[in-house]
């Protein structure tokens, strides 16, 4: 949990001791119980059910039978699954790196004061609020090889027309462009929150000592916002791994299976072929991939914090 | 002095460049939705046509049952958000006061879990219950999106509200429930607004749940617009108009509540689905 709110840990530890005289502490559990029941029903039950389904063989409309590890073994030798895993990792890597870069740059700009800053920031945030399917639809039109506006814009600067999402070689980068367009604002907001907590004084003394802008950024700003960059990176990684709407609405995994990520393959398995047992096994493996990657990033985050305190 | 002004102007232009992909995209979206087929197929492309095709919008509502889908979206998002506030606000309060960091881990896991993993079991459950033809499956599954957002925002909010008033009320003999309802809740109103807005936006935008669970009569707007793309021969104008209709409520909300949204997202960095 502290994964997401570094400032929160500080708040809690302050208030724990001291202000508790001998008095019956108010009981707060009744407030939490309804939510726990709902979470249990919509989150824990499906998980238990998924685990159980994953060791069964069941295509809707046919009879169910216990299959043991069969579904998992089938996954291990399913080339389409390995291919989709590779697509997922490529897509995720690019969809983390690009928004992280643009989002950090944008945060540094929006942290400064300039005319119409509020309005521009509002416009900048719009893409992440827009309905992904609607966005995907308009991008599909813009990517159109003959009538799309993007190829026209490229022709203005002398770049030959591309096939974008209609070509197996360019489909993933094209989808990443859309993902970057939509989710850079989230990175910007998180980093902006980090920049707001950076104190002024060190910069003033650095200025007196003659540090230039790059040195100030590299040795002061960057270490101080590092925890926020890690948070942004963890969130972006989770979201990019899970990305569904944009890919499904624009290519449905195509052309062929060139942009089929695990999530799309999973969807097709469960809801096009109705192979619920196999689909469930895929969900379990997919979740393990997400948790593993998040865990690695969390470990990295612990290290960045540790380095921080060492430096001080 | 003048170099500082120049500096500010420079920043303004860099910011303008950064914002331009967003501005140009939405301008082009509006342009597509207001052009007749012949203008949308023109090369070089036309940004502002000579004649505006307002009929594209009329077509969307006439031919596609869009009013029904709009109503479905309002019902699903509205009910899922209200239910989430009803159980999520007290839960956020309880977790913040219990300092139960661990129970909040559940919410982080909810975020990590792919939406499809809820869909397989719940789809089978709803089918077994025989409620697949109603809006209830979608309302229930949207709780996966809305409850974590509300709880998460409210934990953050209640942790920053002062404890002194609550302690005083407690000493005066108020029950926990009275303290919550009469002391904590009124102070937390701005937090509730943030939770409400974010919950509405991410529930409204949700696509994956509807695409599996919705039948012809129970489609929400994102599913309806996707179906226009895949199953019907529609020209670009009406399609872009439909896309704009779907996302317009959310964009308007974003514009008016920008400050709250930015505050909520920077504090909690939440996103549903």
Rounded CA-CA distance B101/B84 in Å is 20
According to the model, what pLDDT value does residue B268 have? 52
Give me the total of CB pairs closer than 8 Å, taking one residue from chain A and one from chain B: 298
Residues 6+ apart with CB under 8 A from A63: none
Interval A244-259: pLDDT, tens: 999 999 999 989 899 9
The residue behind tokens 């909040």 is B104
Residue B174's contacts (CB-CB under 8 Å, 6 or more residues apart) are: B182, B183
Q: Which two tokens stand for residue B242?
A: 């439909």
Q: What percent of chain A has pLDDT over 90?
A: 43
Give me the architecture of the A79-304 domain, per CATH: Orthogonal Bundle (1.10)
The separation between CA B175 and the C-alpha centre of its own chain, rounded to angstroms, equals: 35
Nearest to B272 by CA among B168, B146, B176: B146
- Closest Cα in chain B, distance from residue A53 (Å): 9
Question: What DSSP designation does A25 have?
Answer: P
Residue B70 pLDDT level (bands cut at 50, 70, 90): very high
Q: Which of B103, B110, B269 lies nearest to residue A4, judging by beta carbons?
A: B269
Burial class (CB within 10 angstroms; exposed 0-12, middle 13-18, buried 19+) of A59: middle
By Cβ distance, the residue of A146, A242, A249 closest to B114 is A242
pLDDT in tens, A261-277: 999 999 999 988 889 89
A88: closest CA among A233, A240, A269?
A240
Band of pLDDT at residue A25, cut at 50, 70 and 90? low
A136, A175, B265 from A179: Cα distances, Å: 10, 6, 18
Would the CB atoms of B120 and A115 count as touching at under 8 Å? no
B272–chain A Cβ distance below 8 A for any pair: no
* Shortest distance, CA B107 to any CA of chain A (angstroms): 8
Q: What is the pTM of this model?
A: 0.87
Tell me if chain A has a CB within 8 Å of the CB of B29: yes
Neighbours of B128 (CB within 10 A): 9
pLDDT above 80 for B63: no
Q: So what's the pLDDT on residue A22?
A: 45
Contacts of A92 (CB under 8 A, 6+ apart): A237, A240, A241, A243, A293
How does DSSP assign B163-182, residue by residue? SHHHHHHHHTT--HHHIIII
User: Closest residue of A to B239, CA-based?
Assistant: A137
Coil, helix or strand for B269?
coil
Of B11, B95, B122, the CB nearest to A46: B122
Select from B112, B151, B223 the Cβ nearest to the Cβ of A35. Answer: B151
CB contact under 8 A, B247 and A249: no
Which is nearest to A45 in space by CA: B117, B100, B107, B208?
Answer: B117
* Mean pLDDT to the nearest integer, B84-106: 82
> How does pLDDT run across B216-235, given as a tens digit for each residue?
889 999 999 998 876 556 68
pLDDT reading at B189 higher than 60: yes
What is the helix, strand, coil percentage profile of chain A, to 5?
Answer: 75, 0, 25
Out of A118, A133, A280, name the one closest to residue B222 (CB): A133
pLDDT of B269 reads 47
Contact between chains at B118 and A49 (C-beta distance less than 8 A): no
- Average pLDDT, stretch A71-84? 93
Distance CA B96, CA B250 (A): 30
Chain B residues touching A8 at Cβ < 8 A: 156, 159
Q: Which residues of B touch A15 (CB under 8 A)?
A: 99, 163
Kindly provide the ipTM of the predicted complex, given to two decimals: 0.88
Query: Å from B63 to nearest chain A CA?
Result: 18
Q: Tell whether the model's pLDDT for residue B146 goes beyond 60.
A: yes
Write down the domain spans for chain B: 1-52, 56-268
Backbone φ, ψ for residue A57 (5° rounding):
-105, 115
Domain boundaries B56-268, CATH class: mainly alpha
Per-residue model confidence (pLDDT) at position B242: 92
State whether B271 and A2 contact (CB < 8 Å).
Answer: no
Tell me the chain A residues in contact with residue B104 when contact means C-beta distances shorter than 8 Å: 1
The answer to whether residue B237 neighbours chain A at the CB level (below 8 Å) is no
Q: Judged by CB atoms within 8 Å, which residues 136-155 of B form the interface with A?
A: 140-141, 143-144, 147, 151
- Which range, A47-51, A263-267, B34-38, B256-260, is most confident? A263-267
CA B241, B245, B247, B252 dihedral sign is positive
């Amino acid at each position: 949990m502290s994964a997401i709110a570094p400032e929160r840990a500080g708040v809690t530890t302050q208030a724990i001791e001291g202000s508790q005289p001998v008095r019956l502490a108010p009981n707060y559990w009744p407030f939490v119980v309804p939510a726990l029941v709902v979470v249990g029903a919509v989150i824990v039950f499906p998980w238990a059910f998924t685990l159980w389904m994953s060791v069964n063989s069941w295509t809707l409309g046919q009879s169910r039978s216990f299959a043991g590890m069969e579904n998992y073994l089938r996954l291990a030798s399913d080339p389409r699954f390995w291919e989709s895993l590779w697509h997922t990792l490529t897509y995720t890597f690019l969809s983390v790196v690009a928004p992280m870069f643009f989002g950090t740059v944008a945060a540094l700009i929006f942290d400064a004061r300039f005319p119409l800053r509020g309005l521009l920031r509002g416009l900048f945030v719009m893409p992440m609020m827009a309905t992904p399917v609607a966005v995907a639809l308009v991008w599909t039109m813009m990517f159109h090889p003959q009538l799309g506006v993007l190829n026209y814009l490229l022709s203005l600067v002398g770049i030959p027309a591309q096939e974008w999402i209609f070509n197996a070689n360019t489909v993933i980068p094209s989808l990443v462009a859309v993902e970057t367009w939509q989710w850079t604002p989230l990175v910007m907001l998180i980093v902006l929150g980090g920049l707001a907590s950076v104190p002024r004084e060190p910069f003033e003394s650095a200025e007196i000592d003659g540090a230039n802008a790059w040195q100030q950024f590299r040795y002061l700003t960057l270490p101080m916002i590092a925890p926020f960059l890690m948070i942004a990176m963890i969130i972006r990684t989770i979201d990019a791994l899970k990305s569904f709407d944009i890919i499904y609405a624009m290519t449905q995994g195509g052309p062929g299976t060139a942009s089929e990520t695990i999530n799309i393959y999973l969807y097709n398995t469960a809801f096009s072929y109705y192979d619920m047992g196999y689909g469930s096994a895929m969900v379990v493996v997919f979740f393990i991939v997400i948790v593993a990657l998040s865990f690695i990033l969390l470990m990295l985050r612990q290290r960045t914090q540790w380095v921080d305190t060492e430096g001080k | 002095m003048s170099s500082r002004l120049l500096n500010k102007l420079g920043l303004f232009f860099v910011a303008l460049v950064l914002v331009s992909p967003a501005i140009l995209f939405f301008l082009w979206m509006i342009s597509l939705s207001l052009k007749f087929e012949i203008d949308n197929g023109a090369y070089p492309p036309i940004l502002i046509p000579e004649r505006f095709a307002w009929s594209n919008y009329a077509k969307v509502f006439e031919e596609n049952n869009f009013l029904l889908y709009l109503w479905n979206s309002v019902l699903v998002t509205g009910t899922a958000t209200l239910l989430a506030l009803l159980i999520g606000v007290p839960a956020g309060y309880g977790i913040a006061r219990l300092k139960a960091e661990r129970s909040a881990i559940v919410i982080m896991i909810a975020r990590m879990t792919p939406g499809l993993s809820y869909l397989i079991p719940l789809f089978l459950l709803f089918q077994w219950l025989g409620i697949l033809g109603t809006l209830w499956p979608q309302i229930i599954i949207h709780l996966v999106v809305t409850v974590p957002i509300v709880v998460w925002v409210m934990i953050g909010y209640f942790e920053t509200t002062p404890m002194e008033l609550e302690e005083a009320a407690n000493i005066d003999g108020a029950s926990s429930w009275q303290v919550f309802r009469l002391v904590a809740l009124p102070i937390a109103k701005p937090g509730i607004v943030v939770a409400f807005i974010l919950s509405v936006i991410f529930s409204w935008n949700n696509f994956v749940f509807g695409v599996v669970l919705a039948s012809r009569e129970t489609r929400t707007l994102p599913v309806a617009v996707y179906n226009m793309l895949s199953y019907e021969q529609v020209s670009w104008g009406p399609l872009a108009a439909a896309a704009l209709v779907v996302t317009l409520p959310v964009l308007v909300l974003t514009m008016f509540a920008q400050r709250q949204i930015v505050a909520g997202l920077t504090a909690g960095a939440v996103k549903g689905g």
